[in-house]
Structure 1
Amino acid sequence: MKICLVNPPHTAIGSRVPDDHLPPLGLLAIGGPLIDAGHDVSLIDAEFGPMPIAAILSKILAAAPQAVLIGHSGSTSAHPTALAIAEGIKAADDGILLIYGGVFPTYHWQDVLSETDVFDVIVRGEGEGTAVLLMDALQAGTPLGLVNGIAFRDEDGRAKATAPAQAIADLDSCRVGWELIDHDRYSYWGGKKAVVMQFSRGCPHLCNYCGQRGFWTRWRHRDPVLFAREIAKLHREHGVELINLADENPTSSRKAWKAFLEAMIAENVPVLIVGSTRADDIVRDADILHLYRKAGVIRWLIGMENTDEATLALIRKGGGTASDREAIRLLRQHGILSMATWVVGFEEDRFKDLWRGFRQLLSYDPDQIQALYVTPHRWTPFFRIAKDRRVIQGDVRKWDYKHQVLAMAHFRPWMLFFCVKAIEVAIQARPKAIGRLLFHPDPEQRHSMRWYTKMGRRVWLREIFQFMFKDRFLSERPTLETFWGGPQDAEEESMTLPARRPKQPKAKVQEAL
């Protein structure tokens, strides 16, 4: 079957400003198994430009596919764009099958299929195995009801979901379709040739606002040696210089992560690694952090979420301010940059809470900071807590963590926005930060900080312009439950548990390598 994978352009301000682009790992991960199953697969990455809808449609129709698979890593905010592309395809050629996947359609399948008829099938949860089975069924004319992990409309036009698919037990069994991209087009970190990869999927922690944990069902990891070997191969064959880990928590297993670090060191390739993890894991690994840096880790994003212990308890973060501060100190000691994420927009926040947060961030002394807004998802426990809060942002394209979505009791939107912008400037422009920016002894870190500062300044100015002249808030503000529908936290896990992966004898593991 001739299949076209489409990555819609993202509308987030931060996505539009940098000159660098990263490849769409989710689509490449589906593309590999489809190619291996004998399908003719191509990719249209509309992030470049970004491509206008008309150009995307022209390119899709020129490829004359039998099926189009649309997906995006930021699937909630990308949904309106994905819908516009699908509507254009169906208007031009109703015979093209449209398959939609990602976190948002996984949980909102009933809404999507009921509100529009342009999507033929929705893939729910991990798509590698399900996409292959779905294409086999479509080619053979097998009833779709026999394919687990999808949703579609039955003969009466009603939205129907099949049984959940089983999560993949062996992540190394699914090959990423790297041949679908031109590596020379993708970069990050100021022009370094880069790709996105996953060492693991899922997260064992119970943060109640996280939209990713339940999607992956259970934390699993790839074979550390095979993963390091794939990174080395990408460097040697395609010149890849930087790996952006898309994992929620790659360091969950100290044993597996240490094995990966040692395997990367053994590969001896000059590849940098950036990603996100938990402060607790950094503190836990204080005795092996020298391996992190030697293996290429240059920056960790640490999800601190808030500096208030009561708020951390509300969202079940599981960490604390003491471990946050210690993690940043340890990273700096070992030559690794830290980026602290700080989430605002909780209902009862007051000026004193922002002031305390600012002072706390100063005491943490992170190298970089990223301020985010709390953004609710129906399938998370946090949604149930926030369901009666008022929605002020009706444009779903701005449900991207960089725009305020929910009203607050003590702040008007403009008050919170300008407080956040002021705090960002104060943190990034403090004397210690400027000193490191100008005089850090490590040229690689100096480059990294200067690139991030340059991008941050451009995004900061664009966000102010957007807020003052383009952003519009709802005058009639529905409750969150009225806007999105009822809580779905009972359906948080999108797949059934993976089969227990059999342990391979060491001889067979070596043979596979």
Structure 2
Amino acid sequence: MRILIVNPPHPAIGSRIPDDHLPPLGLLSNGGPLIDDGHDVTLLDAEFGPMPLDEICRNIAAHAPDLLLLGHSGSTSAHPIAGKIAAGAKARLPNLKVIYGGVFPTYHWQDILRDEPQFDYIVCGEGEETCRDLVRALASDTDLATVKGIAFRRDGTPHKTPSREMLADLDAWRIGWELIDFARYSYWGGKRAVVVQFSRGCPHPCNYCGQRGFWTQWRHRNPERFAAEIARLHRDHGVEVFNFADENPTSSKKMWKRFLEALIAEKVSVTLVGSTRADDIVRDRDHLHLYKQAGVERFLMGMENTDEAVLSKIRKGGSTTTDREAIRLMRQHGMLSMATWVVGFEEETDRDYWRQLRQLLAYDPDQIQSVYVTPHRWTPFFGLAKGREVIQTDQSKWDYKHQVLATRHVPPWRVFVWVKAIEVIMQTRPKALWRLLTFRDPKLRHAQRWYYQMGRRVWFHELFGFLFRDKRLKQGPSVEAFWGESLEAHEEALAKPVRMTRLISEGRRSAPQVPAQ
């Protein structure tokens, strides 16, 4: 079949303003198996530009595919533009069939199929095997009820088939790297870059996380094969920066250490950036030198809040003491730390923001990232927040970078002022500026200066948006009235395979060979 995969543009995210773009790993992961099945597959990455809606639809019509595949990593806030693309494409190609995937459609499949006729099929959960089976069924006119993990309309009514087991062997499904031109993608200040994934899932029960139920259990790729793939992408395609999409790649001390040692043995000079937990950094204090040798330049650590009571309420499982120690250890070993600070877990007061600023100063991270708590309908946190007032009803703004909930004691404008002021104070404090000027490691000096440059552009972009572009309600609906009843009961989108525990413990050394790319 002739298949076009479209990566929708995401205009709501302020951090899109840098010139760097990263390839859509999730779509490439679905493209690889479809190519191997003999389908004619093309990727249209509309993030470049970003491409206007009419131009996207014209490109789709010119390609004249049998199937259109849509998905985005930020699927909640990208859903409105995905819907417009699907509708515009069908207006030009009435017989076109649209397959839609991502975290948001996985849980909102019933609403989407009821209200949005432009979507024909929804892939629920991990897409590699499910999308492959769905396309096979469509090509052979097989009964769709035999395909696990999809939703579609049966006699005009939304219908979902039984959930599919999670992918136990992540090495069995190759990424369709041939769908991209590597020269177009960069990160970290113009360096050729891609997104990769060592593992899926997270073993921690943070109740606000929108990813936990989607990926279910933590699983990992074979460490040596994953290291070999990174080395091949560097040697064959000149990729310098590898941005990890993992929620928590370091979950297994043994497997992560094996990966680091395997990558060091490949003797390639690459940059690794991603996210982890502060307690994993502290756990690995005896071999953090391997992180540096392998190429780790920065890890984002989700510290979420500086209040122990809040950390306990959201089931974070960390502590402020561990957070501070992780930052110190990373600096000691020549790596950058980024602390994520989330606003909105509690009904904060001005005093709380002042206390959080003082705590962040005590943490002394190299970088910070402030985001706003966003209650996804399928998370346990949704139940805690269901009575709170929504001030942002534009779904495209539900991207963690816009205030969507009101706070009881501080109006939105003052919350914004606190957040922007804390960002400025943290990045212009004397310690931070001194480090910026005196980094001996040229790679870290480049990375930190790029971060400051991009941070300044994003800061003014978000200020302009708050003042002149974004519209907030003075008296909005409750979270439950806006989204509907909780979907927490459906949080685990995928069933667990019987052999999952043994496969993880073995490290899956016997994975099949990846086809040449």
- When normalised by structure 1's length, the TM-score is 0.98
Which residue number in structure 2 is paired with residue 92 of structure 1? Answer: 92
Name the CA shift for 1:463/1:500 in 2 (closer, same or farther; >3 Å): same
Task: Say if 2:172 and 2:511, in contact at 8 Å, map to a contact too.
Answer: no
Distance in 1, matches of 2:26 and 2:177, equals 11
| Structure-to-structure mapping, 1:155-304, within 5 angstroms | 155=155, 157-304=156-303
Question: Within 2, Cα distance between the matches of 1:367 and 1:393?
Answer: 31
Report what 1:46 is aligned to: 46
Gaps (5+ residues) in structure 2? none
CA offsets 1:85-143 (integer angstroms, 9 cap, x no match): 01101111111110000000000001111111110000000000001100111011111
Q: What is the CA distance between 1:418 and its match in structure 2? A: 0.6
Cross-structure match for 1:135: 135
- Secondary structure of 1:108's aligned partner: helix
Aligned match of 2:426: 427
Alignment of 1:4-23 (within 5 A): 4-23=4-23
Q: Does structure 1 retain, via aligned residues, the 8 Å contact 2:389–2:475?
A: no
Per-residue displacement from partner, 1:151-189 (whole Å, max 9, x unpaired)?
01111x111111111110100000000000000000000
The aligned counterpart of 1:81 is 81
Matched residue of 1:68: which SS? strand
- Structure 1 residue 15: deviation in Å? 3.7
TM-score (norm 2): 0.97
Aligned partners of 2:276 and 2:45: how far apart in 1? 28
Match of 2:69, SS state, is strand
Q: Aligned partners of 2:183 and 2:216: how far apart in 1? A: 34
- How many angstroms does 1:505 deviate by? 9.6
Aligned identity (percent) is 64
Asked if the contact 1:252/1:281 (under 8 Å) is kept, the reply is yes
Q: Find the aligned partners of 2:332 and 2:11 in 1 and give their Cα distance.
A: 37
* Partner SS for 2:376: coil
Residue identity matched to 1:275: G
Taking a change above 3 Å as real, the CA distance of residues 116 and 258 of structure 1, as seen in their structure-2 partners, is: same
Q: Distance in 2 between matches of 1:257 and 1:346?
A: 31
What is the alpha-carbon distance in structure 2 between the residues aligned to residue 326 and residue 505 of structure 1?
A: 31
Where in structure 2 are the equivalents of 1:465-484 lying within 5 Å? Answer: 465-484=464-483
SS at match of 1:256: helix
Partner of 2:402 in structure 1? 403
SS, match of residue 385 in structure 1 = helix
Q: Which deviations, in whole Å up to 9, do the C-alpha atoms of 1:464-511 show, x marking residues without a partner?
A: 111111111124411100100111111111110134157699998499
The CA deviation at 1:437 is 1.1
**Cα-Cα RMSD:** 1.5
CA separation of 1:507 and 1:411: change in aligned 2, threshold 3 A? closer
Q: 1:28 to 1:508 in 2, by over 3 A?
A: closer
Comparing 341-350 and 22-31, the one that deviates more? 341-350
Contact in 2 for aligned 1:301/1:338 (Cα 8 Å): yes
Q: How many residues align?
A: 512
User: Which residue is equivalent to 1:71?
Assistant: 71
Partner of 2:124: 124
Measure the CA separation in 1 of the matches of 2:44 and 2:196: 19
SS where residue 151 of structure 1 aligns?
strand
The answer to whether the 8 A contact 1:5-1:41 is kept is yes
CA deviations on 1:347-376 (whole Å, 9 max, x unpaired) are 411111111110010011000000000001
Partner of 2:150: 150
**Structure 1 residue 3 and structure 2 residue 8: aligned?**
no
Do the aligned residues in 2 keep the contact of 1:346 with 1:408 (CA within 8 Å)? no
TM-fit CA distance, 1:324: 0.2
**Superposed CA offset, 1:14-66 (max 9, x none):** 34311100000000000000001111100000000000001111111111100
Equivalent residues in 2 for 1:360-509 (5 A)? 360-500=359-499, 509=510
SS in 1 for 2:5: strand
- 1:215–1:492 contact (8 Å) kept in structure 2: yes
Other-structure match for 1:106: 106
Is contact 2:87–2:118 with CA below 8 Å preserved after alignment? yes
Shift of 1:436: 1.1
Query: In structure 2, how many angstroms separate the alpha carbons of the residues matched to 1:94 and 1:488?
Result: 33
* Contact 2:389–2:406, Cα closer than 8 Å, also in 1: yes
Give yes or no for contact 2:196–2:244 (8 Å, CA) kept in 1.
yes
Change in 2 beyond 3 A, CA 1:507/1:305: closer
Alignment CA distance shift 1:122-1:373 (3 Å): same
Matched, 1:330 2:316: no
The residue identity in structure 1 corresponding to 2:288 is L
What corresponds to 1:32 in structure 2? Answer: 32
Task: Look up the SS of the partner of 2:42 in the other structure.
Answer: strand
By how many angstroms is 1:12 displaced? Answer: 2.8
Q: Distance in 1 between matches of 2:389 and 2:249?
A: 35
- Structure 2 residue 330 is the aligned partner of structure 1 residue 342: no
Q: Which amino acid aligns with 1:456?
A: G
Q: Indicate the larger mover: 502-511 or 142-151.
A: 502-511
Report the more deviating stretch, 499-508 or 24-33: 499-508
Partners of 2:223 and 2:259 within 8 A in 1: yes
- C-alpha distance in 2 between matches for 1:362 and 1:511: 49
